[in-house]
């Protein structure tokens, strides 16, 4: 007669660090929210939560369920896959991410300066001027390389 192994618990204890996937998804929620200029309070109102709950989601402290992730994708106007972009591939089920998710916090796309620059860029009404600024920035970056 085969011994039945106890079910593995997939949750986490209070003292454990957040799952890297939850941190990734939360970081992408924060990035998109900031790109749209939404406060945590406004996003919370849109999904029926407090801004504190949104903070916990964004830090990865609380896991976002499938139905709530679907609603967030609608509100933030992105496909669900957006939340998983730029994420390392996971190993076998139950495995850790291949990439170190701590590096995500140093991603320039998550910095306030980057978000402000992108917002300012898209506020320029003249499309030709925007394109010239884009080419100027690319040329300046290439000159520094």
Residue 103 pLDDT: 46
Which range is most confident: 23-37, 63-77, 81-95? 63-77
Q: Which two tokens stand for residue 122?
A: 């898209």
Contact between 22 and 63 (Cβ < 8 Å) = yes
Kindly indicate the confidence band of residue 107, based on its pLDDT and cuts at 50, 70 and 90. low
Kindly indicate the confidence band of residue 102, based on its pLDDT and cuts at 50, 70 and 90. very low
Domains of the chain, each with CATH number or no CATH: 16-87 (1.10.260.40), 108-145 (no CATH)
Look up the pTM and report it. 0.62
Mean pLDDT, the chain, as a whole number? 81
| Interval 34-61 mean pLDDT | 94
Q: Which two tokens stand for residue 121?
A: 């860029």
Is 40's pLDDT higher than 50? yes
Residue 96 pLDDT: 46
What tens digit of pLDDT does each residue of 21-34 get? 999 999 999 989 98
Is 74's pLDDT higher than 90? yes
Which tops the pLDDT comparison, 10 or 130? 130
Lowest mean pLDDT among 16-30, 32-46, 94-108: 94-108
Kindly indicate the confidence band of residue 108, based on its pLDDT and cuts at 50, 70 and 90. confident
- Produce one character per residue of 102-123: b if its CB has 16 or more CB atoms within 10 Å, e if not: eebeeeeeeeeeebeeeeeeee
Q: Give CA separation, 56 vs 49, 93, 130, 137, in Å.
A: 11, 25, 37, 36
């Amino acid at each position: 007669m085969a011994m039945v192994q106890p079910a593995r618990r997939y949750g986490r204890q209070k003292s454990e660090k957040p799952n890297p996937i939850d941190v990734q998804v939360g970081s992408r929620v924060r990035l998109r929210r900031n790109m749209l200029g939404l406060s945590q309070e406004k996003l919370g109102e849109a999904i029926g939560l407090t801004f504190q709950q949104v903070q916990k989601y964004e830090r990865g402290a609380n896991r976002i369920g499938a139905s709530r992730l679907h609603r967030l994708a609608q509100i933030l106007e992105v496909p669900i896959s957006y939340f998983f972009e730029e994420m390392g591939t996971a190993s076998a089920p139950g495995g850790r991410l291949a990439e170190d998710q701590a590096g995500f916090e140093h991603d320039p796309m998550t910095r306030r300066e980057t978000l402000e620059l992108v917002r300012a860029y898209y506020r320029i009404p003249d499309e030709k001027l925007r394109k010239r600024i884009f080419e100027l920035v690319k040329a300046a970056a290439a000159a520094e390389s």
